[in-house]
Homo-oligomer: A and B are copies of this chain.
Amino acid sequence: MQTSLEEVLSQIHSVPSEYLYRAREHLDRLTKPIGSLGKLEEMAARFIAIQGRDVELPLKKGIFIFAADHGVTEEGVSAYPQEVTAQMVKNFLNGGAAINVLARHFDATTTVVDMGVNWDLKGLAGLRHNKIALGTGNIAKGPAMTRTQAEQALQTGIDLANEFAKKEFNLLGAGDMGIGNTTASAAILSVIGEQPVDSITGRGTGIDDPALKKKIETIKKAVELNNPDLDDPIDVLAKLGGFEIGGMAGLVLGAAANKIPVVVDGLISGAAAILAYEIAPSIRDYLFLSHKSQEPAHQVCFDILEMKPYFDLEMRLGEGTGAAIAMNLVEASVKIYKEMATFEGADISEKQG
């Protein structure tokens, strides 16, 4: 049975600060100088506090790759042709993409979701068939999708989170594939973050100067033409789009409702997390920001959330590749929490003075 967006929102609550405090107390008893494991300790404390109960190891880790196409690619904003989205979906299913390699290495499952690829992918085994439409509309000419489609995208992500919660997954990660989606994400973040388009638009998969100029003009035009309501995140999603962005925002909401920590990746899932945050600010407590992408608009996410990413490996691939690395670090941190000896247990002298 589906949980409606309203029900999901009613299930999202802040993580009690006493849980965080208790987790930190335990970390301080472990055989290391207090705080000396830095961000790993912060990860562990947040993970344990979110769960609010004992956690079994190894963690059950699921990465979702939400794929969709963007009508705006006809404006010439990307370095790759649109067909690459569908080709990469097949690559994911065949296990040949970077995210497949990392997911295998870090022992996470990958779930590839067709949210709206502009290609007939029916019959592709192993693919989740949740296609809303054959790509979004060109935002330089009109809205990306209808409000109903935006809600459908969110619902798809929520349903996946619920399904994987039932399967006892305890760490979820969001990744994306969609030629043109840095354009949609920068547009969304320029609106919600109230940032000038010129300064936050990046080169995506590697466009040259003329294409970057074109991309900036296109985003400005899309924002002006569609005039999304800043106070209505679902309207922003519908107007500036990304079926995969909606799916990831839904996944974040669903994860939080199920008290499951959720890791986002780079710019695209960052934009999705911001939409989820605008819908339900308490998702912040469940959110782990993996890496800082090379895309300048990503910074807008950190500023809005007032959170820092864990690392910067100069990556800009998407697919959930940064999320996968962070999920492995989160698991390492939980093992540290659970498996390290305490000063008392190991009979080690404590700090002097």
* Cβ-defined contact, A38 with B314, below 8 A: yes
Chain B nearest CB from A104 CB (Å) reads: 8
Query: Taking the complex as formed, is A124 at the interface, i.e. its CB lies under 8 A from any CB of chain B?
Result: no
Residues on B with beta carbons closer than 8 Å to the beta carbon of A79: 33, 351-353
In A97-139, the 8 Å CB interface with B consists of: 97-98, 100-102, 104-106
Chain B nearest CB from A185 CB (Å) reads: 16
Asked if A80 meets B352 with Cβ closer than 8 Å, knowing A105-B332, A340-B96, A341-B97, the reply is yes
9-residue interface stretch from A11-19, A240-248, A269-277, A323-331: A323-331
* Cβ-defined contact, B80 with A332, below 8 A: no
A350 to B87, CA, bound (A): 11
Asked if A31 meets B105 with Cβ closer than 8 Å, knowing A310-B313, A314-B38, A352-B81, the reply is no
Count the copies. 2
Residues on B with beta carbons closer than 8 Å to the beta carbon of A194: none
Query: Taking the complex as formed, is A349 at the interface, i.e. its CB lies under 8 A from any CB of chain B?
Result: yes
Residues on B with beta carbons closer than 8 Å to the beta carbon of A353: 79, 208, 211
* Cβ-defined contact, B87 with A315, below 8 A: no
Query: Taking the complex as formed, is A40 at the interface, i.e. its CB lies under 8 A from any CB of chain B?
Result: yes
Residues on B with beta carbons closer than 8 Å to the beta carbon of A102: 332, 335-336
Chain B nearest CB from A139 CB (Å) reads: 20
User: Residue A349 contacts which of B84, B314, B316, B346 (CB distance < 8 angstroms)?
Assistant: B84
Residues on B with beta carbons closer than 8 Å to the beta carbon of A104: 335, 339
Chain A, residues 68-84, CB within 8 Å of chain B (1/0): the string is: 00000000000111011
Chain B nearest CB from A159 CB (Å) reads: 29
User: Residue A96 contacts which of B31, B38, B83, B294 (CB distance < 8 angstroms)?
Assistant: B31
Query: Taking the complex as formed, is A39 at the interface, i.e. its CB lies under 8 A from any CB of chain B?
Result: yes
Query: Taking the complex as formed, is A32 at the interface, i.e. its CB lies under 8 A from any CB of chain B?
Result: yes
Chain B residue nearest to A339 in the complex (CB): B101
Asked if A340 meets B40 with Cβ closer than 8 Å, knowing A206-B34, A312-B311, the reply is no
Residues on B with beta carbons closer than 8 Å to the beta carbon of A54: none
* Cβ-defined contact, B205 with A349, below 8 A: no
User: Residue A38 contacts which of B30, B39, B81, B315 (CB distance < 8 angstroms)?
Assistant: B315
In A49-99, the 8 Å CB interface with B consists of: 79-81, 83-84, 87-88, 90-91, 94, 96-98
Query: Taking the complex as formed, is A7 at the interface, i.e. its CB lies under 8 A from any CB of chain B?
Result: no
Query: Taking the complex as formed, is A10 at the interface, i.e. its CB lies under 8 A from any CB of chain B?
Result: no
Chain B nearest CB from A92 CB (Å) reads: 10
Residues on B with beta carbons closer than 8 Å to the beta carbon of A311: 311-313
* Cβ-defined contact, A96 with B345, below 8 A: yes
Chain B residue nearest to A204 in the complex (CB): B33
Q: List 26 A-B contacts (CB under 8 A).
A: A31-B91, A31-B98, A32-B98, A33-B317, A36-B315, A36-B316, A38-B294, A38-B313, A79-B352, A80-B349, A81-B349, A83-B349, A84-B348, A87-B346, A87-B348, A94-B341, A96-B345, A96-B346, A98-B336, A101-B339, A102-B332, A102-B336, A104-B335, A105-B335, A205-B351, A328-B328
Known: A98-B336, A311-B311. 20 other contacts (CB 8 A): A30-B98, A32-B98, A33-B79, A33-B205, A33-B316, A36-B316, A36-B317, A37-B98, A37-B315, A79-B352, A81-B349, A87-B346, A94-B346, A96-B339, A96-B340, A96-B341, A97-B340, A101-B332, A104-B339, A105-B331
